[in-house]
Amino acid sequence: AIANAEYYGVTGETVCLDRAREAYELIYKLNNGLIKDPTGLGPKTIPTTRTGRALADPMIYLNITSVLRRVDPDAEWQKLYADRAQECVETIFKYHYKPDLHCTLESVAPDGTPRLEVTEGRVVNPGHDIECSWFLMEAANYAKNPEIHATAIKIFDQAFEAGWDKEYGGLLYFIDCLGKPTEAYEHDMKLWWPHDEILIASMMIFRDTKDVKYLEKFEQTLEYCKQHFSDREYGEWYGYLRRDGLPTMPSTKGSTFKGPFHLPRMLSMVDGMLTQILAE
């Protein structure tokens, strides 16, 4: 959906817009259980025995919505995008954002109740929350809704404060919302993509609020990335660092999960926002 929408925005080829819309509707129906998975793969778990809500569904759909509404010229589709964006925002705030726990949870019960008795229910992915924060800020800017924007900044602040490694720098991959041991072995690793999301989100907050604190967080993160992720001799970024900031061995810059997405998106978006700031 995103790729076809962006390609349509550049080329104007309507077949790509049609593909993007088709994928957009398919994802909505799958997320809401309106159709069976046409691939036949089915869900990762058995819904009748492991019910719950995942943050990934509304936040990623919100991002897809943002891309499509930016390029789609049709008024009827624009109304649909506005409605779907609001639906995603309400879902995130109602079910996943937990001000009392100072975090946004990856997984909750169907009614939004935190499942704090199990490790899975206490998982916080700071990079995911930070990525979600700028998706929400984009939605807020479209809707001209300062309340959504302010809550998105709170989500960023909570995730950055909880996830930034005070000893070694960089953003921890997973944390437990109650400070207990995490289930994932890679919880204290530093991955490339959460740092890309910090750079986008912090620059977006600075652009929108002019609060220098977020420019400082941008610079802090950028310096960490230059020192640890960037290969100054051969280019590109390492994907996976140990907690101390050294690449895992053997090191890798591309894998099943690390493709040309997060880093190019960050570079493009930050460049665009800096251009906007300098033009003011």
Give the contacts of 112 (CB within 8 A, at least 6 positions apart). Answer: 53, 94, 95, 96
Cβ neighbours, 10 Å, residue 265: 15
Q: Which pTM does this prediction carry?
A: 0.96
- What are 33-88's pLDDT values in tens digits? 898 888 877 777 777 777 899 999 999 999 999 999 999 999 999 999 999 999 99
Cβ neighbours, 10 Å, residue 44: 8
Kindly tell me if the per-residue pLDDT of 229 is higher than 90. yes
> For residue 106, is it within any domain?
no
DSSP state of 169: -
- What are 178-199's pLDDT values in tens digits? 999 999 999 999 999 999 999 9
> For residue 212, is it within any domain?
yes
> For residue 82, is it within any domain?
no
Give the contacts of 93 (CB within 8 A, at least 6 positions apart). Answer: 151
For residue 62, the cross-strand partners are none
Query: Which structural domain, as residue segments, surrounds residue 248?
Result: 189-280
Domain tally for the chain? Answer: 1
> For residue 33, is it within any domain?
no
Residue 105, φ and ψ in degrees, nearest 5:
-85, 140
> For residue 196, is it within any domain?
yes
Structure tokens at 248: 């895992």
Residue among 123, 88, 130 at smallest CA distance from 106: 123
> For residue 235, is it within any domain?
yes
> For residue 38, is it within any domain?
no
> For residue 109, is it within any domain?
no
